[in-house]
Amino acid sequence: MKAISQLIAITLCAMFGLAISIVIFFFFFGHMFLVIPIIKENEIERHSIILANVFMSSDKLAYYDTLRTYRAVLDKEKLDNEMVNKNNILSYLKIFDESKLIKEISYPNSAVFLIVSDNEQDNTWFLIGGGPIKGEGTGISTYSQCMLSHVRIDPAMIFRAYRKGFFNPIDAVWTDYDMQACNEVLNANQGFAAFKTFPVAIRYSDNDIHTGVLSLSLAEV
Amino acid sequence: MKGQLVELAVIGAIASATAIITVIIPFIFTRIQFVETIDAEITQNNAQLALLALLSSTHENKQISQIIVEHVAFNQYSNINEIISPRLEKYTSCYKLTIGDKTLAQKEGCDATKYTAGAKIALPYQPEKKVEILQLTIN
């Protein structure tokens, strides 16, 4: 009888203890476990969208009629002045001109490749350049130096441009070997790259406006 | 007998409390952190730019926006689908351009639903409705 009473008392105590411990455990549960959400966005893609929108709205490329700038309506004359026209072999010399437009509109430590192509006519403009370099010896400066050192300006460039069956300004200036060598430099410096396209209109005159595409490749380190 | 039971209960309670506190104390001073990374996808709605480029562009020296107005108001340009579709096909493989309840151009065999952009078009000589909304939907 005595043993049964002792057993009951001990069992009651244990159940009481268990109940208390469960309450305390859940009371401290919120304190013990902390969930930290980190929203990771693809910064390079965001930068490329912003940069392309700035190019489309800039009066250096967009049509301006003294009252307003027409966003995404690019002026043919401005494109000819600021960018390399694929049909004008002399304009290829602008590649060595340190591309003023991209120097003014770009992110630091970035390389930009801008292409505007006409959808209704065989006409393409492109420009290659880099943003301001912040810090010596950064990956992007090494990448830019690599790309510039591999530029090939020779009579064969027109054949290289069409070797895939359509005009590609990148192929005109660099071979696959050059691109691969410089991409290895970019990868070695943990760089990121993004490619985006945007619909635009290209204005030749008041009565001649074509649809086109603005493509932007951005590499950042 | 009764005294023994009380004594046992007190000893049991103290023993249980000691055991519980011993187990819980490390947890009080411990914080387990879970870091959950959420990848945010960035997408660009190109419908507005595509509509802007389309309306700005010209066909036989006349702006597409003007051609659309003349088609809706005066039933001119019966081949409007042939004028608009080649331009939109350069931008997307699936599109639908409507004005009010009328479809001006549509890619057959697909249902465009993803990105939408609209523009108000003024209709001349239409006393019952002076403005109509032009809507482009692309995938």
Q: Is the separation of the CB atoms in A63 and A69 below 8 Å?
A: yes
Is B87 in Cβ contact with A46 (below 8 Å)? no
CB contact under 8 A, B56 and A5: no
Interface test mutation site (partner B, options A4, A5, A11, A13, max chain B beta carbons within 10 A) = A13
Residues A194/A48, Cβ–Cβ less than 8 Å: yes
State the pLDDT at residue B36: 81
> What's the pLDDT tens digit per position in A84-97?
888 777 777 777 66
Q: What are A129-176's pLDDT values in tens digits?
A: 877 776 655 566 677 777 777 777 777 777 777 777 777 777 777 777
What pLDDT, on a 0 to 100 scale, did the predictor assign at position A101? 81
Residue B128 has pLDDT above 60, yes or no: yes
pLDDT score at B34: 81
> Among residues A99, A112, A97, which one has the least CA distance to residue A60?
A99
d(CA B107, CA B95): 6
- Mark yes or no for CB contact B42/A35 under 8 Å: no
Confidence at B53, pLDDT banded by 50, 70, 90: very high
The verdict on pTM exceeding 0.80 is: no
- At B108, phi and psi to the nearest 5? -75, 145
The Cα B111–Cα B98 span in angstroms is: 13
CA dihedral A56, A57, A58, A60 (to 10 degrees): 60
CA A74/CA B16 separation, integer angstroms: 80
Task: List average pLDDT for each run of 10 residues in chain A, which is 221 residues long.
Answer: 78 84 72 76 84 91 89 92 82 72 82 89 85 64 72 74 73 78 68 82 92 88 67
User: What is the domain partition of chain B in residue ranges?
Assistant: 47-138
Name the DSSP letter for residue B110: -
Instruction: Determine the Cα–Cα distance for residues A76 and A210; give it in Å rounded to an integer.
Output: 10
- The C-alpha of B2 sits at a distance from chain A's nearest C-alpha, in angstroms, of 10
Q: How far, in Å, are A89, A96, A129, A156, B92 from residue A169 at the CA level?
A: 12, 15, 14, 13, 23
B49:A37 CB<8 A: no
Q: Is B21 helix (H, G, I), strand (E, B) or coil?
A: helix
By CB atoms closer than 10 A (0-12, 13-18, 19+), residue B7 is exposed
Instruction: Determine, for residues A201 and B52 on separate chains, whether the beta-carbon distance falls below 8 Å.
Output: yes
- Please answer yes or no on whether A72 and B53 come within 8 Å at the CB atom: yes
Distance from CA of A2 to the nearest CA of B (A): 8
Residue A137's pLDDT is 56
Looking at residues B20-40, what average pLDDT do you find?
A: 78
Q: What is residue A127's three-state secondary structure? A: strand
Report whether pLDDT(B4) > 60. Answer: yes
Q: Taking the domains of chain A in order of start, what are their residue ranges? A: 1-36, 43-220
* Chain A positions in Cβ-Cβ contact with residue B45 (cut-off 8 Å): none
Nearest CA in chain A to B17: A17
CA distance B104 to chain A (A): 18
Report the pLDDT value the prediction gives residue A136, as an integer from 0 to 100.
58
Q: Across chain A, which distance is largest between two alpha carbons, in Å?
A: 112
Cβ-defined contact of A37 to B1 (cutoff 8 Å): no
Cβ of A13 within 8 Å of Cβ of B16? The answer is yes
A25 burial type by CB count under 10 A (0-12 exposed, 13-18 middle, 19+ buried): middle
Enumerate the residues of chain B whose CB falls inside 8 A of the CB of residue A17. Answer: 13, 16-17, 19-20
DSSP state for residue A94 in the 8-state scheme: G
DSSP annotation of A95 reads G
pLDDT at residue number A30? 65
pLDDT in tens, B78-95: 888 899 999 999 898 899
